[in-house]
Amino acid sequence: MSMHHDTPIATSSRAGKYLTFFLAGEEYGLEILKVSEIIGMQPITRVPRMPEFVRGVINLRGKVIPITDLRKKFHMEPEGSDDSCIIVVQMTGVQTGIVVDRVSEVVAIAGADIEDAPSFGAGIHTEFLLGIGKAGGRVKLLLDIDKVLVTSELEALQAAQSHGA
Amino acid sequence: MAHLTLDDAATLLLQLEASDTADLTKLRDALTDLAFENRVPQRAQPFVARAARVLGTIISGNTPDAAVAFTEVSEAIEEAMRLCDASATSSAAPVATMPVAATLVAVTPQTTRVPTPAMAAEPSRSAQHEIGSDQLPEDKDLLPDFITESHEYVAASEAALLRLEENPTDEEAVNTVFRAFHTVKGTSAFLGLSRIAAFAHEAESLLSRVREKEISYARGCADLSLRAVDMLSALLGAVVTALGADGRIPLPAGYHELLDAIASYDPALHANGVSRPTPSADAERGDIRAEISPVNAQASASVSGSANAAPSSAAATAATAARQARGEANTDATIRVRTDRLDRLIDMVGELVIAQSMIAGDELFGTGKAHELLRKVTHSGKIVRELQDLSMSMRMVPLRATFQKLARVVRDTAVKAGKTVQFVTEGEDVEIDRTLVDILGDPLVHMVRNAVDHGVEGPADRAKVGKSNTGTVRLSAYHASGNVVVELIDDGRGLYREQLVAKAIEKGLIESDKNMSDSDVFALIFAPGFSTAEKVTDISGRGVGMDVVRRNLESIRGRVDITSAPGQGTTFAIRLPLTLAITDGMIVRVGQERFIVPLTHIHMSFRPEPSMLSTVVGHGEVVLLRGELMPIVRLHRLFDVSDAVQSPLEGLLMIVGDGNRRTALLVDELLGQQQVVAKTLGAALGKVPGVSGGAILGDGRVGLILDVNETVALAQTDAITPLTRDRDRQRDVAA
C-alpha cells in the first residue's frame, strides 16, 4: 500500500485548526489555512470535455474559478442537498472551489489526536488523507486537499489529451 | 566619505594575488575612479590609469606573466605617488582646472554615492562583498524591482545615446546616460550585485570623460556606449536567469573584453574617435550623420547645421533637446503597480457594473413607484460606467518605448548593411494594451530589419533610380475604427509580383497566380519557408521568419495588409485590437448552455433550407452555400450538450473560419452581441480543448469563449476517432 513517506514531518505539522464538513455521511476536515471562504451553491457553468468531477466554473466576484465535486471525485453517489455549498480553497495562489454536502464547524485538533490513516477501509484513497483526527468524540478524516486537487488536475489534463488525440 | 588613496592602493596591492579576481576588480575600479575623478594631480593620472589597465589584464587573464604585470602595476602606482608628492610640495594646484566645471554640472556623483556600500573606500568590507560575486545576494526581494527599474534606465540610455549620435553636444543626453549608469551602479552595489556594479562603474567612467569634455562623443565611443548598454541589459538578464535557477549568475559572453575595451578607451588609439580639439572633429560628425540619421527629421537638420560650424545653432538644438527631455520626464510621471492588482481591480469594476445593472433591472422599478430611487440608481450607473472606462485605460501604455527600441534596430541594421537610412516615427503616443505591446515587439523588430535590409536599396542602387541617398523607414501608429493601426513604410525597391509568383510556384506553394489579387500574392511572403532575399545576411538570416511574424500577430488578433508598388516601396499595415481583455462576442445558445463566439471569426449565420444540406460519404454532413461546400460541426455533439436542437433546419448555422477552411457551426439560436472581458478558466483546469477562456455574462454567470480554430480542429479529430467517452453519462445540472 502506498503510505506517507514523509510521515514524521507530517505528524509534527498536522496539529491545528480544521474546517469540518460532511460528505455522504462522513465528517471530513480541511486545514483552515487553506480555506479562503465558504459560499452558497450557485449556478455552475459546465466545461465540456472535462472529467466528471470537474463540475465547471463559477464567477467569484469577477474571477473565474473551477469547481470540483468531491462526491464524484471520491466515487460516491451523486446527491444534491439544500445545504450543499462551495468551499473556496487557496493553493499556491490558485483558487479552486470544492462542492460539499454541508459545512460543520471549525475545530482545533491536537497532534496527539491525529493518527495516520489506516491503509484500508477508509472508503477513499488513503493518499488523499493527512490522517484521522479525533475531536468532540467523533472521527474526522483530514483531507490533504493539495493532493486531492493536484491529482484531479493531472487526470483532467490526461483526459483532455486522450480526447484530443 | 573616505576615498581610496594611492597609499591604500599600494598596500592593498601587496596583499593580493592574481587569483583574487574580485578584489583586484575592486582595486582597479578604485584606481579608475582616482584617475578620472581628478583626485590626483593631472600629471599622475596617466600612471594611475595605466595601473588600472594592467590590473584589468591580470583580472581577465590576458597577461602572459602575472608577476611581471603586478610589478608593472606597483611601479605605476609608485610613479603616481611620486608625482603626487611633487605637486603637493610645489605650490601648483593639486587639481586640474576642468573638474570645477564638472562638479558644478554633476548633480550626483559625490553626494548620492554616500549611502551605498562603498565601491572602494572600505576594501576589507567590499572584499567580503565580493566573495562569490557570481552568486545572487541573500536578499532577493528587492531584485525584481531593481531589474524593472534598471531596464527602464537601459531603455532611456539607449534613446539618449541615439540622440547623442544625432547631436554630440547634447549635454542633457550625456547626463541621462551617466545618471542611468550611476544609479544602476549605486543600487546594484547596495544589493550586492558586484559584477553589475563594477560594469556600470566602467561605463559611467567612460561617460564622465565625455561629460567633462575630455573626449568627444564620436563613433568609437558611441559604439562602445551602446555595447555597454547592451551588456548591462545582458547582465540584468543574467540576474533574471539566476533568480529562476540556482542563484548562480551566468557571465554574459564578451563581458571581460568589453570591460577592458571601455576601461582602456583612448580616443587617440581609436581611428574613429577623434578628440575634440582636432580640426577633423566636425568632418567626423558630418560623417556620422551621412552614415545614418535616426529619429526625427527636424533634429537631423539641425545637426547638419552644427556640422557646418554654426555653434549657436548647435547650442540651440541642445537646449531644445534638454527641454524635450524634461517635458518627457513630466509626462511619464508614474507609479508602478503590479499587474495582478490592476487585473483584480478591473475584475472588481466589471463585477460592479454587473451588480449595478442588476439593481437597475430590479422589478421594483417596473412598478413605477420608486422614481426617486431610480434616479439615484441611474446616477450611480453613470459613475460606474465611467469607472469602467477608466480602469480599462489603466492597462494601456503608449507605443513610445517600442518605437524607441526600433530606432536602435534601424541604426544597427543600416550600419551592417552599409546603407543610409532615416527612421521616422509618428504617433508614439498611441496607446495599446500592455500585453499587446510585449507581443508586438518581436514581429516589429523583424519587419523593421527586413525593411532596412531587403526593402531599402544601397546608396548606389538608389542613385541609379534617381532616389536620394538616404532611404526612409517610417513607422506610424494611429487609431482607425476601434483598432490601432501600426504602419511600416519604406521607400525601397518594393515587391515584384512576378518574382513572388515565380518563387511561390518554385516552392510549390501555389500552382499559378490565376485569380490572385496583388495583396494575395504579397501575402505569400508570410508562408513558411518563403524568402525572397537574394543573399542571406546575418541580419535577416537569424531570428524568426515572416511566418512567425504573422503567427505572433495573429495570436494577438492582429492582421497584416501589404501594399506595394515596384520601385516605390512597401507598406505593411498591422491592424490590432485596442486590448485583448475585451472581446466582441456573439452569445449563442446550445441547449441550456451558452457560449461566446468571437465576432471576428463569424462570417454569417443563417437557417438552412433542406435543399442545402447533404451528407457526403467520408466527410459527414455538409452545407452548400453559394456554391461553397462546408462541413457542419454540431456544437452540441462536440461539447456533449444533451437537450439541444438536433436538426440544422430548426437551429442556426454559423459560418466561421477563414479562407478555404470555412466551417458551419450548428447552434440553437443567437442571444445577442456583447463586449465581454476574457478571463482564464484558472490554472487548476489546465487547457480546455476548444475553449479559450471564460467571461462573466450580464446575469453574473460564466460563459465560455469558444476557440474557433481549435473547435474546428477538434471536430475533425473527433470525426476520425469517434468519442470513446461514455456519452450517456449523467449530466449534472447545477443545483
Q: Which of A49, A58, A72 sits opposite B702 (nearest CB)?
A: A58
Nearest CA distance, A110 vs chain B (angstrom): 31
Nearest CA distance, A112 vs chain B (angstrom): 34
Q: What pLDDT, on a 0 to 100 scale, did the predictor assign at position B4?
A: 67
Q: pLDDT per residue over B480-492, tens digit each?
A: 877 789 999 998 8
**Identity of the residue numbered B184:** V
From chain A, which residues contact B within 8 Å (Cβ)? 41-50, 52, 54-59, 61-66, 69, 72, 78, 80, 84, 94-96, 149, 152-153, 156-157, 160, 163-165
Distances (CA, A) of B259 to B17, B175, B196, B280, B369: 20, 21, 11, 28, 80
Q: What pLDDT, on a 0 to 100 scale, did the predictor assign at position B455?
A: 84
Q: What pLDDT, on a 0 to 100 scale, did the predictor assign at position B675?
A: 77
Q: What pLDDT, on a 0 to 100 scale, did the predictor assign at position A87?
A: 94
| Per-residue tens of pLDDT for chain A, all 165 residues | 444 444 444 445 788 899 999 988 889 999 998 999 999 998 899 998 888 888 899 988 878 889 988 888 888 887 767 788 999 998 766 788 999 999 999 999 888 888 887 766 555 567 788 888 888 788 888 988 888 877 555 555 555 545 443
Chain B residues within 8 A of A76 when measuring between CB atoms: none
Test A49 with B640 for CB contact under 8 angstroms: yes
Q: Give the ipTM.
A: 0.78
| For testing contact with chain A, the best of B356, B593, B704, B732 (most A CBs within 10 A) | B732
Superfamily of domain B582-720: CheA-289, Domain 4 (2.40.50.180)
Nearest CA distance, B130 vs chain A (angstrom): 35
B249-287 burial string, b = 16+ CB within 10 Å, else e? beebeebeebbbbbbebebeebeebbbeeeeebeebbee
Distances (CA, A) of B316 to A62, B75, B306: 55, 48, 10
* Coil, helix or strand at residue B569: strand
Burial label, B495 (beta-carbon count in 10 A; 0-12, 13-18, 19+): buried
Q: Which of B681, B690, B723 sits opposite A66 (nearest CB)?
A: B681
Test B734 with A94 for CB contact under 8 angstroms: no
Q: What pLDDT, on a 0 to 100 scale, did the predictor assign at position A138?
A: 85
Alpha helices (H) in B510-655, listed in sequence order: 518-522, 546-555, 635-638
| For testing contact with chain B, the best of A36, A52, A64, A90 (most B CBs within 10 A) | A64
Q: What pLDDT, on a 0 to 100 scale, did the predictor assign at position B536?
A: 45
Residue B338 at interface with chain A, using a CB cutoff of 8 Å: no
Chain B residues within 8 A of A96 when measuring between CB atoms: 682, 684
Q: Which helix (H) or strand (E) holds B24?
A: helix B21-36
Chain B residues within 8 A of A102 when measuring between CB atoms: none
Q: What pLDDT, on a 0 to 100 scale, did the predictor assign at position A103?
A: 92
Q: What pLDDT, on a 0 to 100 scale, did the predictor assign at position B726?
A: 38
Residues in CB range of B356: below 8 A, 6 or more apart: B377, B380, B381, B384
Nearest CA distance, B340 vs chain A (angstrom): 11
- Contact between B44 and B84 (Cβ < 8 Å): yes
Grid coordinates in use for A94? Answer: 490558485
Q: What CATH number has the domain spanning A7-159?
A: 2.40.50.180
Chain B residues within 8 A of A39 when measuring between CB atoms: none
Q: Which of B681, B721, B732 sits opposite A64 (nearest CB)?
A: B681
What parts of chain B have a pLDDT lower than 50? Answer: 1-2, 90-133, 271-316, 319, 323, 325-331, 534-543, 721-735
Domain ranges, ordered by start, for chain A: 7-159
> What is the pTM for the complete model shown?
0.52
Residues in CB range of B690: below 8 A, 6 or more apart: A48, A49, B638, B639, B706, B707, B710, B711, B714
Q: What class has domain B6-265? A: mainly alpha
Test B696 with A45 for CB contact under 8 angstroms: no
Chain B residues within 8 A of A56 when measuring between CB atoms: 702, 734
| Residue where the block lists cell 477563414 | B658
Q: What CATH number has the domain spanning B397-577?
A: 3.30.565.10
Q: Which of B351, B688, B700 sits opposite A47 (nearest CB)?
A: B688
Test B702 with A57 for CB contact under 8 angstroms: yes
Grid coordinates in use for B661? Answer: 477552411
Chain B residues within 8 A of A153 when measuring between CB atoms: 684-686
Domain ranges, ordered by start, for chain B: 6-265, 339-394, 397-577, 582-720
